[in-house]
Structure formats: structure tokens, C-alpha cells
Amino acid sequence: MLAIRLVSGPERPDSLALPIRPAGTAEGRDALVTLQAGLPAPDDVLAEAAALASAARATGRAGEVHVHLRPGRAPGRLLLAGVGAGDEAGWRAAGAALARAARDETHLTVGLPGDAPAEAVRGLVEGLLLASYRFRLTEAGERPALAGVDVLVTDPSRYADVLTAAEVTARMTHLARDLTNTPSSVKNPQWFAEQVESAAADQPDLHLRVRQPDELAAEGFGGILAVGGGSASGPRLVELDWRPAGARTHVVLVGKGITFDTGGISIKPVPAMKLMRKDMAGAAAVVAATLGAAALRLPVRVTTLAPLAENAVSGSAFRPGDVVSHYGGVTSETTNSDAEGRLVLADALAYAAAELRPDLLLDLATLTGANAVALGKHTGALYSDNDELAADLLAAIDAAGEAAWRMPLPADYVEHLGSEVADLYSAPNQGAGSVLAALYLREFTGDLRGRWLHIDMSAPSWADGDAAELSRGATGWGVRGLLRWLGTLA
């Protein structure tokens, strides 16, 4: 990750970035922009920056960057970064744009106005760190040269806590991206569990249990065993518990952890299978969020359950029409082995409701292609019967710079879950796919039905190219929103 420092008086920087904002509207082609008041730069540099902004017809919109060369002078490069309305989202967009505009520099100084709110620093730092992410298994390929950024403020101590929060959030998002981007030739359930063990090692008040296949069988986790039964790499159930002293609220997070999804006997076409290393993005997000809660010492208990399996094709793979017995005894008739994620989640939800008995229960999953059909590539689908709980989580997701939309749980769809040979039909053909998957999962929440949320985040878990703070590949979607939300529960 980039090294970020808060400083009050820099050395003469080679590259200096200054924020600009829209100042109003203008007739004709010239855009009206203004430099932020109270910027820590010499008067001649500020005057030149104002003139350059006007000459470049800058708009000041969030994420816009204009680069100007000043040969033989200091700074040698002047970057004018639009921050839009100057809110956290605007500064995050500016940070991301600066990370890309200055990628060939070794160091950058960003000047903030003397009255900059904490949200400006958080947005700027998150944007810088998230947009500079790159995933590589080898040293081949061009890497950005930018290694450090100084954020110039009048009182660095004022922003120390928010800097820590931004750095932890970015580091945990990077971890979720790394886990999701890793090819499935490396990544299987055991490997994933080992990564969690390594990340949680020596962390106070973090407790880890990893259930092996024989333990899953002994305790009745039939859904996880069925989905993982076709692979030579056996399934696992990771249980990671952040248990701070004095916590008054207990949240259980459940994340789908299919380390590769062939579709099983209901095999996927090749184009749909190519990126199925990302089918454990939900598990990566909830694990990273729990590690982040521990790193920030949030005073809320968080237990993460990551049911891990590889959905493979073999003579031991479960078949369409099989009946699976889940944790607690509820049975599912499975007519599509490519609807496997809900089977492993059902086990984990039933276990959480029966044994852990939390105050709140949330699951996150790359569950259906219907998510993208309904909401496009950037927005998760949120389901809950609790209006207040849904509104609080949506607000936290939005504040963190992610996007989700609440979807309905219509009562008349429930009849589609009826099976003639089992308690439930896991993947009905009628109705809306993402909605029916959510209704199915709700059946395993027991007494927590009114305190449960489900997010289908298949679409926003992956980016096809660099955009704002996202880099091509895994996005780590959910980590930022979950950490914001957990912080509100403290």
C-alpha cells in the first residue's frame, strides 16, 4: 500500500496537488472554479493555479485532474484536483484520480485547506489507497512508481484517528481483493482457511475455529458437504470471532465461499465459468470486515462464518433432484447444482440462529446473475423484513462509497419454495431469481428472521476495468460498507 503521512510543513515538493471546486455557472465555454480557501501553498503558486484552472476550463467536478508542468521551479508539477461538492465522496474521487494521474511520480504532496473536515481526509486517503491497488502473482508487468503521499494539513494530530480508519479500511479491502483475485489453481477451501489463520494470528480477542469435513459430517452440515463432495479439495467452515470485552451487541456475518464454481453436474458454459474464482467474494468480504473490526478495536462482537467448498464435477458430485439435509434437519430438494451457494449459506445461517443466537444476522453472497440483470454492475441487492435495519445498512454502504438497493420479499413468491419430497425447493424456476434465493435463505434464520439482512453482491464484486477507486478485477465490495455499519453499532 502507499505510505500516507499527515504533515504540517513539507519540504519543497516536486509534485503538489491542490483541490478545486465548482464556483457556479458561467455563460459561454469558460467554467467557473475556485481554489479551496486556506490552502498551504505560496501566494504565487496559488495565483498561478487559479489562472491555470481558468485557462484549462476546469469544472472542478469530483475526479477531474489537470496536470501542469513548471520546469525549473518548485513544485515542478502542479496538479489541480476536482473535489466536487467537497464532501467525502468528492474527496474520495479526487484521491483516486490523483493516484492514477501521479502513478509515474515517486512522491506526491496534497494540500488541504486549513478547515478541512475529517471526512475530507478519510475520503482522500481511501481514494488514494484503493485506486493504487494492483494484483500480481509475479513481478512481471509495469507497476506504478508512486510510493508515498504527504497530506498537508495545519494540525496532523486532529486527523490521526480518521487516517487510521481509512488505512485499515483500505488494507482490509485489499485483503478481500487479493483473496478473490487469487486463481483457483492456488485457492481451495484449505488454502482460504490458512489465509484466515495467518491474518488472525496473534491478534488479541480474535478466536478461530476451522471445521474439517469429518467435523462437518458429525455436526450435520449437509449443504456444505453436498456442494463440496464432488471435489478432491474437501470443504471447510471457518468461524472467526472478534470478542472484545464489554461488547453489548453481537453480529454474525455469513459469507458465501465457493472457491471455484463449475456449476457441478449442471455445468456452466465456458464463458460463465472463467471468472468463477470470484465466487467466494462474500466470504472474503466478511472475513476482512471482521479483521478490520479487530484492528480498529470496535466495541461490538462480530462472528464471521465462511462456508467454503469447491463445486466440482465428478462421480461424487451431488445431483439435480438430490435431497440435502441441512444443519438442524431442514431438507432441500436441489434441482440445479449451479444454485449451490444458497445450500452452503443455509447451513451457516441455521447454525448461527440455533447456536450463536446473535442480535443481528447478515449474509453476503455472489449469489445470482439476476442481481446484475435487475441493478446493473455496481449495485448490490439488499433484502430484509426490518425497515430500520435495512435503512441503517444502506446509509452506511452509501457513506462508504459503495452502492446497494433494497429489494422486496413478496409473500406470494413463498409458495414457489414448496417441494413434494423435501421441506424446501432450493431453486424454483418461477419468479425472480435473486428474490427467490433471498426467500429461501430466510427460511433458515429461525427467530432472527426480523433481524436478518441478505445482500446479493454478485454484480459489484468484480470490475471490468479501472474506474474511480476500483481497479480491474475483484473490488472487495462489502468491506467498506460493513466496517462503517459495524462502527455505528458500537
479 within 8 A of 176, measured Cβ to Cβ: yes
In our burial notation (b when 16+ CB lie closer than 10 A, e otherwise), range 219-231 reads ebbbbbbbbbbbb
Torsion of CA 137, 475, 117, 51, to 10 degrees: 80
Task: Tell me whether residue 268 is one of the annotated catalytic residues.
Answer: yes
Cα(205)–Cα(295) distance, integer angstroms: 10
Cα(163)–Cα(119) distance, integer angstroms: 10
CA distances from 435 to 18, 156, 255, 388 (A): 46, 48, 18, 20
Q: Which conformational region is residue 431 in: left (phi greater than 0), alpha (psi within -120 to 50 degrees), or beta?
A: left
- Judged on CB neighbours under 10 Å (0-12, 13-18, 19+), 183 is exposed
User: Could you tell me whether strands 360-365 and 250-255 are parallel, antiparallel, or unpaired per DSSP bridges?
Assistant: parallel
C-alpha cell read off for 220: 450435520
Instruction: Catalytic residue, from 70, 100, 268, 406: name it.
Output: 268
Instruction: Catalytic residue, from 92, 277, 342, 480: name it.
Output: 342
Task: Tell me whether residue 342 is one of the annotated catalytic residues.
Answer: yes
165 CA to centre of own chain: 15
Q: Which amino acid, one-letter code, is at 186? A: V
293 within 8 A of 302, measured Cβ to Cβ: yes
Listed in sequence order, the residues at least 6 apart from 172 whose beta carbon sits closer than 8 Å to its beta carbon are: 288, 289, 291, 292, 295, 476, 479, 483
C-alpha cell read off for 99: 493516484
- The catalytic residues are 268, 342
